[in-house]
Copies of this chain bind each other. A is one copy, B any other.
Amino acid sequence: MPNVRLVVEYCGEGFSGWQVQPDQRTVQGELHRALEMVTGEALALPVSAGRTDAGVSAKRQVVCCTLPRQDEALLRKIMVGVSSILKNEVSILRAEVVPEDFHPRYDALRKQYTYTIWNHPSPPALLYGRCKHVSAPLHVQAMQIQGESLLGEHDFTSFRGSRCGAKSPVRKLESFTVHHRGDEISLEFRGPGFLKQMVRNIVGTLLLYGADPKRTPSVKAILEARDRKMAGPTAEPWGLTLDWIEYKEGRL
């Protein structure tokens, strides 16, 4: 039975995250339901490259599912049908048969996440529900300098979510870029993998330096302390978007 890879876009607002949970509307659950409706078959749950938290959006999440038959017309039907069933809250941007041993999580080489902040006394209208609103002016340069001190391979225990199940707390932050256009600040994180809530915990910490650039200790010192209690709060999920995932054939 063919292993089908989907590139999936979704808006986090209407979902309790990726992973299926009883009595919750989740992306995995809704996608599964829509795929079963389109194919007319009972299917196993689709598997994603990453289980985004409630409220987190994805521009190009990568998902695999096993379909009952190899059929180009069925792939096209999935691309059209899923968006329509899920009222454009989820869209399938690509659907293709991949080798049976392809796994969206284990084969991922690199991911990019962007965290969006609206920095203005008033809340946003167009970005509402898709960013974190910070009223007081942020020292963006301080956030950038502190964030850059995390580049490279480190033990990220200080920025690890309490329910993170990863074996090792060591991760590599390959790039960290700040984009500042008008009232919108976006923080872009790229690396081979991230711990649970690592990006949101880093953002929540960087925001403390955005409010007070002279704050001590530095983010580097917090990292080296390997103590979650020294870092800042977890930034709200609705500012976070999974941008893309890279595999050996390139970014999807």
- Please tell me which one of the listed residues B123, B126, B130 contacts residue A57 in the complex, with CB atoms under 8 A apart: B126
- Please tell me which one of the listed residues B93, B120, B130 contacts residue A120 in the complex, with CB atoms under 8 A apart: B93
| A80 at interface by CB-CB < 8 Å | yes
Cα separation A187 to B11 with both chains bound (whole Å): 24
Cα separation A91 to B122 with both chains bound (whole Å): 7
Q: Is B128 a contact partner of A88 (Cβ separation < 8 A)?
A: yes
- Please tell me which one of the listed residues B80, B125, B130 contacts residue A122 in the complex, with CB atoms under 8 A apart: B80
Residues of chain B within 8 A of A89, CB atoms compared: 125, 128
Chain A contacts with B in 171-185, Cβ cutoff 8 A:
183
Cα separation A93 to B241 with both chains bound (whole Å): 25
Complex interface bits, A121-155 against B, C-beta within 8 A gives 1, otherwise 0 = 11111101110000000000000000000000000
| A10 at interface by CB-CB < 8 Å | yes
Q: How large is the interface on A (under 10, 10 to 19, 20 to 34, 35 or more residues)?
A: 20 to 34
Residues of chain B within 8 A of A88, CB atoms compared: 123-125, 128-129
Cα separation A11 to B123 with both chains bound (whole Å): 13
Residues of chain B within 8 A of A91, CB atoms compared: 122-125, 128
| A83 at interface by CB-CB < 8 Å | yes
With both chains docked as a complex, state the minimum distance between the C-beta of A14 and any C-beta of chain B, in angstroms: 10
With both chains docked as a complex, state the minimum distance between the C-beta of A64 and any C-beta of chain B, in angstroms: 18
Given the known interface contacts A93-B120, A120-B93, the answer about A126 and B9 at a Cβ–Cβ threshold of 8 Å is yes
Task: Give this chain's copy count.
Answer: 2
| A110 at interface by CB-CB < 8 Å | no
Q: Is A125 a contact partner of B9 (Cβ separation < 8 A)?
A: yes
Of listed A9, A79, A80, A89, residue having the most chain B CB within 10 A: A9
With both chains docked as a complex, state the minimum distance between the C-beta of A91 and any C-beta of chain B, in angstroms: 4
Complex interface bits, A25-64 against B, C-beta within 8 A gives 1, otherwise 0 = 0000000000000000000000000000000010100000
With both chains docked as a complex, state the minimum distance between the C-beta of A18 and any C-beta of chain B, in angstroms: 14
Which residue on B lies nearest to A60, using beta carbons? B182
With both chains docked as a complex, state the minimum distance between the C-beta of A77 and any C-beta of chain B, in angstroms: 12
Given the known interface contacts A93-B120, A120-B93, the answer about A10 and B125 at a Cβ–Cβ threshold of 8 Å is yes
| A223 at interface by CB-CB < 8 Å | no
| A198 at interface by CB-CB < 8 Å | no
Cα separation A232 to B123 with both chains bound (whole Å): 38
Q: Is A126 a contact partner of B83 (Cβ separation < 8 A)?
A: no
With both chains docked as a complex, state the minimum distance between the C-beta of A148 and any C-beta of chain B, in angstroms: 25
Which residue on B lies nearest to A82, using beta carbons? B122
Chain A contacts with B in 187-221, Cβ cutoff 8 A:
none
